Amino acid sequence: MGTVNGGPGGRSSFLDKGDVYALEWPVGKETPVAFIDVGSSDYGLFVRHVLELERFPGGEKFVGNAEVITVTEMAEQWSKATGKSITLKPILVEAFKQGLEPLKLPPLLMALFPEVFQYWSEFGLPKGPIPPGVGPLRKWADFVKDEDWSKILA
């Protein structure tokens, strides 16, 4: 079984050279995850929208992501796109933090990143409209299909 710590952009390692990869996150299988492709122009579309408001803040409420999907849906779509078997392996927050240590993230991110997962698990995510004119946005399924996963899912 391969282990993918930290998810996309994280590291992977083989455990007994199997063909199943476990996404080790401190969440349940139905935890909602907000996805936005920050590496593309999607993030900038939201920034531009806010900058072009007549008045800021203009009283408008919207979400800043392309979609909200469950961790199970993420794993299924990732599996379909890569041909690899990917599943969620819920882990404790402390184990998640240890998996992040090799990434040498700044201390603030090391503290914040696990808290985000805990928040998603406990409270879910706000739902709301995507502002008119923002888009089209890249969905998770398109992101995993278009990325090179050869180093992470080796």
pLDDT at 24 over 70: yes
Question: Phi and psi dihedrals of 139, rounded to 5?
Answer: -85, 165
Q: Give me the helix-helix angle, 93-100 and 107-123, nearest 10°.
A: 150
DSSP single-letter state for residue 55: S
pLDDT tens per residue, range 98-117: 888 888 889 898 889 889 88
Q: Residue 125 — pLDDT band, cuts 50, 70, 90?
A: confident
For the sheet with 20-24, list strands across it. 11-14, 2-5, 20-24, 85-88
Average of per-residue pLDDT across 93-98: 88
Mean pLDDT for all residues in the chain: 82
Domain ranges of the chain: 2-146
Q: Which amino acid is at 152?
A: I
- Answer whether 22's CB lies under 8 Å from 4's CB: yes
Helix (H) / strand (E) element for 131: namely: none
**154 Cβ partners below 8 Å, 6+ apart?**
2, 12, 14
pLDDT tens per residue, range 56-65: 767 778 888 8
> What does the pLDDT read at residue 18?
64
CA distance 63 to 125: 10
pLDDT tens per residue, range 40-74: 778 888 888 888 888 876 777 888 889 999 999 99
- One of 3.40.50.12370, 3.90.180.10, 3.40.50.2000, 3.40.50.720 is the CATH number of 2-146, namely 3.40.50.720
